[in-house]
Structure 1
Amino acid sequence: MKYWYWFILVCSLTANAQFQLNGIVKDASNNKPLSFASIYTSTGINTISDVDGKFNIVSLHPFYEFTVSYIGYTKTTITTQKDKSFYSIALIQNTHTLNEVIIPNENPALGIIRKTIAQKEQNNPQKQLNTFEFKLYNTLVITANPDSINSKIDTIITSKNTIKTDSTNYKFKKTIQKQHLFQTEKVSLFQYKEGVVKETILGTKMAGLKQPIYEILGFKLQSFSIYDSNYELFETKYNSPIDNNALKEYKYQLLDSTNIQGRELYMIHFKRKKKIGGLEGVLYVDKSNYGIAKAIMRVRGVLDITGIHEFNYLPKEKIWFPSNKSFKIVKGNNDDDVKLLGGSIQFEGNTDKNFKSRKKQASDFIYLLSKSTHFDLTINQPIQIKKSAIALDIKKEAINRPDDFWNRYRKDSLDNRSRKTYSVLDSIAKKNQIELKITVGRRLINGFIPAGPIDIDLRKFFSFNNYEGFRIGLGGITNDHFSKTIKLEGYTAYGTKDGNFKYNLGIGTLLGETTNSWLGIAYTDDVREIASTIFSIDKRGFKIYDPRPLNISTFYNYKNWKAFIETKLIPKTESVWEIATTTIAPRFDYAFLVNGKSYSNYSMTTAMVSLRWNPFSDYMQTPSGRVEVEKRFPKFTFQFTKSIPHFIQNDFDFGKIDFKTEYEKQYLNGNRTTILFQTGYAFGQIPLTHLYSISPNNITKETILQRITFAGKNSFETMYYNEFFSSEYAYLQFKHGFHRITLFKKIKPSFVFVSRMAWGNLEHNERHSGLVYKTLNKGYFESGVELNQIYKGLGLVGFYRYGPNQLLKFEDNIAIKISYIFDLGF
């Protein structure tokens, strides 16, 4: 979902405060910046310097002095000067004070953190409170500070000795002085009961859009609770600095003492022991109960990300409860131009790296800022959470709230720049048809192009396999412009090699909008690869090409009538329920022998349920349906198919049980591990066309070079087509991908280690006549490496086959393939 953030950033809060100053804190002896120094004003504003020693103070009320302190240094008070907005403060070390604080045997911060970890249960509101409920007002803007941008109009001499002017920065500064690049507001109700936290959006508005982009509302910028074992920033999880095992990963430093709401606090700086990236920040720990009174979390890299949590102390409950949150993204360090959705955002790199430095552009000063304020808190009162399995619920009326709603809930009135943003972006969006472009973009990602009331299916235009030859077709589905309650879909295709037309036609009616429930019927006359496992609930993603069918020759024709229900009614699941009758005609030499009779063509009537369960994911309910907003693993898919004896046309009595589970873990260093386990069991009278072949992807050619084709995603690259068939099988795949390695500026391959194994068995081998094949009783093993995205999405993979089914010739066990990853730039 991150691409929606980038989308609005390419297409395109701090409010203009009355009193604002910034500066930097340094060590007077060596001029090095002091990270996380305390800065507070005479009016009660309290902040700290960032990891670079920089600080910023914004106030609605005037102040005439501010104090800077840092443990081990002499405290300094600075008087503000008129017309001066930047201050460089040099602190002098005070070794006497430092010696008083440091305990010889142990870092004092470690003792404080140990007690903080030990007291987590007593200080966590979600553990100490039975229920709570509060409202939240949030603003999110993408903008820039006009004062940071040089508005000078540059003179450029081109290669042809002609003089041109570059007014980009000038124009950008003029724009940003008047408005933000993007702006959205929302009012939410948060409820907690019995371990469940639910957000219900009561109102939302997004500049330039009549209907908001729901994906942005579901985007998780930072964790709800500071006490979670994993802390999340910008949809990336990090081990929390107060996790039970945090002392092994983080180092801590006692910075200073301060107070909030009259309570004395420790300021503890934390940072990963390893130098590679990770979470860094400051925890404000209550000296009495060791609860967290404030937390600043930061990650520096390609993006500079900061999340701040503030709390109010509840004397009766003796805990700190969240009161405000803020989140900010600015550009970090990278020497590349990052291309996104056809645009280009340039990230300024470190000057000590080997790349050509460039002049900063206006866009380098763009940042995202989100601010949230909690209010109307009630605790330990009876509440009812409806549809608790839905983490985020957007009410239908939320997108059309009148002005008096916003005037009632805004914590501060909008400044001139914010008000101008709504009017300007609404006008620009209407003129440039932004909503239409977003609609097109959404559907294009899923493989469709909208054409009036119909979305054309890009997957149906063209493909190739060894049976049909070139398959040329046209397909599509109706959209909301046709009807919101009825949908028609279909396709037609022609194979240049087999000379036959194929087609499909279906109609569905909406049963429930919030659960995405549809009832439909469809007829299909087409061909399918034999022994292929298809989970009906799986949604086919858009591919420019589908590599596996290129060299498949064994297909069967199927003519199928089906009635189905698709629904997300059951929490955290989606399912398909289907009854179908099908006539099968194999397009290869095959006969199925059962009960003394030989079948070359046969009929089946079946009932099927296909269900995916994502128990650990979070879901968002929008007015147009339910969306998985945070994908968590493992995920589970189950499918059961059973023939219906003595019903319409049915030659056999059989059943199939199929199951798969997927697991994925992403690491802070960019590595990723994925595990796929899949199994199937077919019982009864079942022909070869409907057994299992476990996705082979190798062709029978003499040399390695002749066998080079495109690699599949989860297929056995060294297994030959029709080499093995099974009536029961188990398949395990392990992949570990490393972060991309820069070899040259445009050559950045990603290295992936892959290992696959399978076991299978075939009952009633004597029933199948026509093909020569083997069974997987002894197991099958292959391992290899993928070198993906070497250049423009193209890569190279290599696999080796070993174990009981290894072939006699060494070269026959080797498969070299081409990989291709299509990158839309998200």
Structure 2
Amino acid sequence: MKQLLLFFFFTLSLQAQFQINGIVKKSNSNQVLPFASITTDNGNYSITDVDGKFSINSGTPILYFTVSYIGYAKTKISIQKNTVFYNVQLKETTQNLNEIVINPENAALGIIKKTIALKDNNDPEKRLNSFEFKTYNKLIVSANPDSIAAAIDTIVVRRTKKGVYFKIDSTNYKFKSTVNKRHLFQTEKVSQYQFANNKLKETILGTKMAGLKQPLYEILTFNLQNFSIYDPKYELFETKYNSPIANNSLKDYNYKLLDTVTIDDRNTYMIYFKNKKKSKAKGLEGILYIDQENYAIAKTILRIRGLLDISSTHNFNYLPEENIWFPSDKNFQIIKGKNDDDIKILGGTIQFDGDVEQDLSTRKKQPSDYIYLLSESNNFDIKNNTNIQIPKPYYAVEIGKNAITKDESFWETYRKDSIDIRTKKTYSDLDSIAVRKKIANRVQLGKKIINGYLPIGFFDMDLRKIFSYNNYEGFRLGLGGVTNDRLSKDFRIEGYYAYGTKDGMFKGSLGAAAKVDKKANSWLGISYTDDVREIASTSFSIEKKPFKIYDPRPINISTFYNYLSWKAYYETKQIPKTESIWEIAHSEIDPKFNYVFLNKNNLYDYYTMTTAMVSLQWSPFSDFMLTPTGRIEIEKRFPKFTFQYTQSLGRLWNNDFDFSKFDFKTEYEKKYLSGQKTSLLLQAGYALGDVPLTHLYNTSPNNITKETIIQRITFSGKNSFETMFFNEFFSNKYAMFQFKHAFNRVTLLKKIKPSLVIVTRMAYGNLDNPEQHLGLNFKTLDKGFFESGIELNQIFNGLGLTTFFRYGPNQLPKLEDNIAIKLSYVLNLGF
């Protein structure tokens, strides 16, 4: 089973020695009653879900249970022999329980207001100076075998005059046989959480993942549910929603007082909340149990119903010494929802049931209908207000030493319950399958391909080097890559070789590097390169170029320069939340277009540069995890900052020019609860001294010089000026700003669901001493450049259409010359 499949198509069914199930409805209208209270004679307690259904499991026999709901008469139900499902009808007394719209007299509203006002006093992260505890977590992907029919079916394949042709379908039979023996996937984790100085850190003491000797570290930090219910944004399955007790929550939610319940011998209000929007997937829904004395959260149940039916429960223990409720355990579960959209992931398609107006009873159930995901976490060894020194607090998560090699005695110490036969079988079977089918190798293969590499033995081939096209080289065919861990974990050789069919020239690079610091992932390397590059382009060395099937912008570029470069570099992640490259390079530059640089009465059509450079990226708001193999960014937050400084080194190594370059970029991204997204980009550069045009700034133009709009149709870039012509403007100092806002996808037809994005870009700049640059006719950006447009991305199979308009001081006389129509393509891998 594919690893990423574990997050989809689930349904939950809990096993116990004694179990009763049922549904609670209004007797007069037969409508279901969500969140009714169910209490058994032996002390078990539950509530109905949003569909009015309930399930209670008990280790001892149940004689009767009572059902209560404010405004309805409490009902006692005796347990009947051989009856496991009960249809409970409650009679209304005095209160009409149709959904109540908030008004000043509403009792729940007053309780919620007090809860919000006092939440800083009840939030452990605000109230306590420090705390620490350990957590045991178990996550399984499984199915209830009793709910699966084991019959072997026949399916009509086709009908002909000769008869009807059938085939045997044993899918459910095989699936039931599997889940009878074991779960589909499981993982366990023991962590220590430490909080001090407003920082919370998780140290993973032990982890094991069925089928993988080395776990997927990304799954270990997959944020299924928030740690704290008091955060203004509650994160559920890596999607953020406005919290029901956020300062502005009253505008998003309706509240209703359902009941009063005793938890830890303290009386609590049971308050139901639901988002005001009609769409179920736009906000949370659930129950808050609020202490009647201090208005703290004693328990909460949250749910989202959409493509997936997701629920999250947080339980708390009352600590009388601090008069605070502290998290004791939480669980998270996913069952399959109902929607007419399919989810595509890594080439596979997950099919979902249609909407409720369809007759779902006629649809044959597939194994995916029965699968569920369940994650349970239990906290213990809780200590508050002690002197805690958090090691490496700049890491949100750290994998402890030997965490992935713990023996069985370690797990027996921390498991809440003893391991059962099904769990044991899961580990043994999946470990065996993983070895037989080389799952670990397949996982590593998938991760490398996503990053643009294909492993071949001890060599990772760079897929970006195989094929590309531009107007100078024509078709560029090549081969390149880097050695991997199979050769050495502490040494690498990298390089590429390419040939341009139009310029008829071979290019290439060869380099080697050695790891000098494992924890900081620091490498010291050297390289030699003979290649071509676009003139006046801005490149931040520290930025990792994402893998693309194609890179559309270079297709129409015809002005390049050749460079022979010898380089020594040091790359490191030593400084917290940063990564940097420090470099010394000597380059011989040969412009491959008509250009001469006039400097100090000398004409240069070929020149040398010896430079020192530092390129640094800083992500101060992101969260990082430290693993045995290096650092991983687990929570990308904005803004991010990139700095680069380049300095020529006097007359060292026959250097022709003295100059300095300062480059800066910052990115900001905001995702809204509605699913929309705003992106901002600010980029600037300043070059002073003797700088030839090849190393100035062109602000990334992407429009070709053709007579008509139709002739100028090409593919659009990501952050390029679509109406600016190539080589139209050059600057030695500039600043550009880009604004993008992406709306939700709009369904026009079943297969046509474009994503609408509005874009505005602007740039200012200037060029000192333009008379030094001979051979090209160009303008400067001293009056500014402005364009705005609309992108309709992913109209059909990833293809889209964009339109941009150029305006302002640099607007062209002909209207049609200010318009650019481009194609776009978005590759969706399901992430």
Deviations along 1:375-394, one digit per CA (max 9) or x if unpaired, are: 01111111211110100101
Aligned to 1:230: 233
More moved, 78-87 vs 385-394 = 78-87
Aligned to 1:704: 709
Deviations along 1:336-388, one digit per CA (max 9) or x if unpaired, are: 33232233322122232699973321212211110000001111111211110
> Is the alpha carbon distance of 1:627 and 1:689 closer, same or farther for their aligned partners in structure 2, counting shifts above 3 Å?
same
- For the pair 1:513 / 2:512, whether they are aligned, the reply is no
1:420 and 1:702 map into 2 onto residues whose CA distance is: 70
1:737 and 1:97 map into 2 onto residues whose CA distance is: 43
User: 1:257 is paired with a residue of what secondary structure?
Assistant: strand
Report if the CA contact (8 A) 1:332-1:347 is conserved: yes
User: Which amino acid counterpart does residue 55 of structure 2 have in structure 1?
Assistant: N
- For the pair 1:254 / 2:257, whether they are aligned, the reply is yes
User: 2:653 is paired with a residue of what secondary structure?
Assistant: coil
1:554 and 1:355 map into 2 onto residues whose CA distance is: 61
1:663 and 1:97 map into 2 onto residues whose CA distance is: 48
Aligned to 2:77: 78
Aligned to 1:197: 200
- For the pair 1:57 / 2:56, whether they are aligned, the reply is yes
1:624 and 1:705 map into 2 onto residues whose CA distance is: 51
User: Which amino acid counterpart does residue 577 of structure 2 have in structure 1?
Assistant: K
Deviations along 1:66-100, one digit per CA (max 9) or x if unpaired, are: 2221111111222223333222211111117989x
User: Which amino acid counterpart does residue 28 of structure 2 have in structure 1?
Assistant: S
| CA positional deviation for 1:10 | 9.3
Q: 2:667 aligns with which of 647, 659, 662?
A: 662
* Count of residues paired in the alignment: 823
Aligned to 1:137: 136
2:148 and 2:564 map into 1 onto residues whose CA distance is: 66
2:218 and 2:734 map into 1 onto residues whose CA distance is: 39
User: Which amino acid counterpart does residue 32 of structure 1 have in structure 2?
Assistant: Q
1:103 and 1:252 map into 2 onto residues whose CA distance is: 7
| CA positional deviation for 1:617 | 1.0
User: Which amino acid counterpart does residue 408 of structure 1 have in structure 2?
Assistant: T
Percentage identity across aligned positions? Answer: 62
1:247 and 1:6 map into 2 onto residues whose CA distance is: 37
Calculate the aligned-residue CA RMSD, in Å.
2.1
User: Which amino acid counterpart does residue 172 of structure 1 have in structure 2?
Assistant: F
Report if the CA contact (8 A) 1:102-1:108 is conserved: no
Report if the CA contact (8 A) 2:730-2:781 is conserved: yes
Aligned to 1:176: 179
Aligned to 1:360: 365
Aligned to 2:409: 404
- For the pair 1:271 / 2:274, whether they are aligned, the reply is yes
TM-score (norm 1): 0.97
2:341 and 2:97 map into 1 onto residues whose CA distance is: 43
1:291 and 1:104 map into 2 onto residues whose CA distance is: 23
Deviations along 1:156-182, one digit per CA (max 9) or x if unpaired, are: 222131122222112212211211111
| CA positional deviation for 1:604 | 1.1
Aligned to 2:724: 719
Aligned to 1:472: 477
User: 2:109 is paired with a residue of what secondary structure?
Assistant: helix
2:770 and 2:6 map into 1 onto residues whose CA distance is: 56
Aligned to 2:325: 320
User: Which amino acid counterpart does residue 203 of structure 1 have in structure 2?
Assistant: G
| CA positional deviation for 1:708 | 0.8
TM-score (norm 2): 0.96
| CA positional deviation for 1:564 | 1.1
User: Which amino acid counterpart does residue 648 of structure 1 have in structure 2?
Assistant: W
Aligned to 2:784: 779
User: 1:298 is paired with a residue of what secondary structure?
Assistant: strand
User: Which amino acid counterpart does residue 251 of structure 1 have in structure 2?
Assistant: N
- For the pair 1:609 / 2:614, whether they are aligned, the reply is yes
User: 1:147 is paired with a residue of what secondary structure?
Assistant: helix
User: Which amino acid counterpart does residue 262 of structure 1 have in structure 2?
Assistant: D
Aligned to 2:28: 29
User: 1:63 is paired with a residue of what secondary structure?
Assistant: coil
Task: Structure 1 unaligned segments of length 5 or more: list them.
Answer: none
1:782 and 1:640 map into 2 onto residues whose CA distance is: 29
Deviations along 1:713-756, one digit per CA (max 9) or x if unpaired, are: 11111110000001111111111112222222222211111111
Report if the CA contact (8 A) 1:793-1:820 is conserved: yes
1:722 and 1:455 map into 2 onto residues whose CA distance is: 36
1:224 and 1:215 map into 2 onto residues whose CA distance is: 18
2:158 and 2:186 map into 1 onto residues whose CA distance is: 41
Aligned to 1:561: 566
Deviations along 1:424-481, one digit per CA (max 9) or x if unpaired, are: 1111111111111101000000000000101000000011111111111000101110
1:671 and 1:464 map into 2 onto residues whose CA distance is: 34
User: Which amino acid counterpart does residue 173 of structure 2 have in structure 1?
Assistant: Y
Report if the CA contact (8 A) 1:202-1:398 is conserved: yes
1:659 and 1:104 map into 2 onto residues whose CA distance is: 52
Task: Structure 2 unaligned segments of length 5 or more: list them.
Answer: none
- For the pair 1:162 / 2:161, whether they are aligned, the reply is no
Report if the CA contact (8 A) 2:8-2:336 is conserved: no
- For the pair 1:305 / 2:302, whether they are aligned, the reply is no
1:20 and 1:232 map into 2 onto residues whose CA distance is: 32
- For the pair 1:334 / 2:339, whether they are aligned, the reply is yes
Alignment of 1:397-796 (within 5 A): 397-796=402-801
Aligned to 1:90: 89
Report if the CA contact (8 A) 2:353-2:360 is conserved: no
User: 2:811 is paired with a residue of what secondary structure?
Assistant: coil
> Is the alpha carbon distance of 1:22 and 1:7 closer, same or farther for their aligned partners in structure 2, counting shifts above 3 Å?
closer
> Is the alpha carbon distance of 1:579 and 1:542 closer, same or farther for their aligned partners in structure 2, counting shifts above 3 Å?
same
User: Which amino acid counterpart does residue 81 of structure 2 have in structure 1?
Assistant: K
| CA positional deviation for 1:290 | 0.3
Deviations along 1:529-565, one digit per CA (max 9) or x if unpaired, are: 0000001111011111111111111000111111111
2:535 and 2:821 map into 1 onto residues whose CA distance is: 25
2:729 and 2:637 map into 1 onto residues whose CA distance is: 34
User: 2:388 is paired with a residue of what secondary structure?
Assistant: coil
Deviations along 1:480-509, one digit per CA (max 9) or x if unpaired, are: 101000011000101111111111111111
2:317 and 2:409 map into 1 onto residues whose CA distance is: 29
Aligned to 1:284: 289
Report if the CA contact (8 A) 2:225-2:235 is conserved: yes
1:126 and 1:818 map into 2 onto residues whose CA distance is: 50
Deviations along 1:160-212, one digit per CA (max 9) or x if unpaired, are: 31122222112212211211111000000000001100000000000111110
User: Which amino acid counterpart does residue 796 of structure 1 have in structure 2?
Assistant: L
User: Which amino acid counterpart does residue 501 of structure 1 have in structure 2?
Assistant: F
User: Which amino acid counterpart does residue 202 of structure 1 have in structure 2?
Assistant: L
Report if the CA contact (8 A) 1:633-1:664 is conserved: yes
> Is the alpha carbon distance of 1:78 and 1:762 closer, same or farther for their aligned partners in structure 2, counting shifts above 3 Å?
same
Deviations along 1:266-320, one digit per CA (max 9) or x if unpaired, are: 0111112222321111110000100000011111111111111000000000000
1:822 and 1:354 map into 2 onto residues whose CA distance is: 34
2:81 and 2:472 map into 1 onto residues whose CA distance is: 82
1:531 and 1:294 map into 2 onto residues whose CA distance is: 60
